[in-house]
Structure 1
Amino acid sequence: MQMNQLEYILEVRKAGSISNAAQNLHVSPATISQSISNLEKKYGIKIFNRSRHGTEPTELGKKILEEAYKIKDQLVALEREIELQTTLESKELKIVSHPSPLQSFLPSALANFKKTHPNIDIVLKEHLDITEPINLEEFDIGLVAASPQTWLKLINLYKNDLHFETILQGKLYVCTSKNSSLAFKDSLSPDDLYHHPHAIYTIIKAVYTDIINEYGSLKILLESNNSEIIMKMVCNGLAITILSDLVIKNEPAILSGDTVAIPLVDYERANLTYGFIRSKKRYYSTGARDFLKLLRSTVQTGNY
């Protein structure tokens, strides 16, 4: 059955005759009559009994019309959903992110996205732990930085509600002044960290908490969510700090050589997984799909 045939038989039933239906649909009576006759001939059935007094459905026709009304209702619902999603597509892209992506690949990916999707507003929220207590159904995409162990734990806990995808593997580094005795080492373990004061960058606090719980207390100079303050303390030899590879990638003090970044080893959470998550209950918009393609490309090329 073609869509126009569905429309014709429903309108004939509603209008009571082919001529009235033709007038309502702005087509000729012959068009409707021929279309219905073709349908009846194709399936060897009779949908309407025609007379000078009007058009009445047969018993079989009543059953067909009942199903046709259901199909029409479904089509109306589908059209409304398409209109709703089209409106949503053109409005906004909501992202919640761990600070590390915000300091590295996320701005570049968003800038490229705005070039191709200028009419979509971007809404960003920074959060250290985007699985709790934030409701991910409110966001299109969540960006995570976690140890591989934590990443796998999240997948096991939320696999029925969230979609997970790894986009990059990373590592933790110990940053120290170029004049520090540690600067000449190829790698550092937690045991090497105890005789030096630490400036804790707030987004890495969970790492420090874990090291302290496992290896014992450390000397803490200060804690700050300002990376510039942290790096000034390190550059001036007042402290060392632990940072992720993404945070130090474009750090001026590292690039100039005033600060040295040394891999942290012999610590099971020294490796990092960067990935995105999204709620399976939230509509996966075309904008979100396009952004994730750009995000993958940005990370793969390293142009950030």
Structure 2
Amino acid sequence: MNSAPCIKKYGLAYIFKSIFCALKIQDCANLEELPNGLQSLISLQELKLERCPKLVSFPEAALSPLLRSLVLQNCPSLICFPNGELPTTLKHLRVEDCENLESLPEGMMTTRELPSTLELLCIWGCANLESMSEKMSPNGTALEYLDIRGYPNLKILPECLTSLKELHIEDCGGLECFPKRGLSTPNLRHLRIWRCVNLRSLPHQMKNLTSLHVLSIRGCPGVESFPEAGLPANLTSLYVGWCENLKKPISEWSLYTFTSLSALTICRVFPNMASFSDEECLLPPSLTSFHQ
């Protein structure tokens, strides 16, 4: 359904109980509530709600038991998810620009478990969302992509990220540190940390992230040094910028040991720390792109 400004209550769920596989409700300016019969769409696998500014909440009943993708975008009045746990079939959960959303799905907060099938989780622009728990159970072994942006209440990441391949964290002012054990993400390939102004340090034991190929750190003035053991040796791309208090001289980064590094960008770090005049500052022969 697209651009239906007069509709305040959506009731088609009772009519097409077994037909819909995908349902998109978009630009319904006066839509305030969804029907309790939403779960009766037994074939529904994809649900997307976009730009429904007056939508406050889901019905009390659970979502379709076969739901694989749930996308909520630009629903600023939405306060909560449906009651109960998310469907065990859910693979993609994307929540964007829902600034009044207060909590994650009930099951994630009470049982502290991600749906075991969840592969992608994106949380963008949710200023009032409470922080997820560090002690979240490692049930979410399927999670491969985690993208968190504009989530100021995020304090720390959970430790249940063993299958993660990409981790993006941006504009999370409440994030001060990573789990004490570091990131238990042996399959992580891409790590981006941007504009986390209160982050004090990078994850411990980063050297052990042997699958990590792309590392991008930008706008993190609280970070003063790299982990003691150093960075992963298999990096192919390294970006470090606008980290004005990063005081470790580049000559001590051991860049020459990154034998696969092809792209390197270093800018706006602590004054005089970005000099390449030092004879000890050797670059790897694999490097094909360098920006300073």
TM-score (norm 2): 0.19
Higher helix residue share: 1
Larger Rg: 1
Taking structure 1 as the reference length, the TM-score comes to 0.19
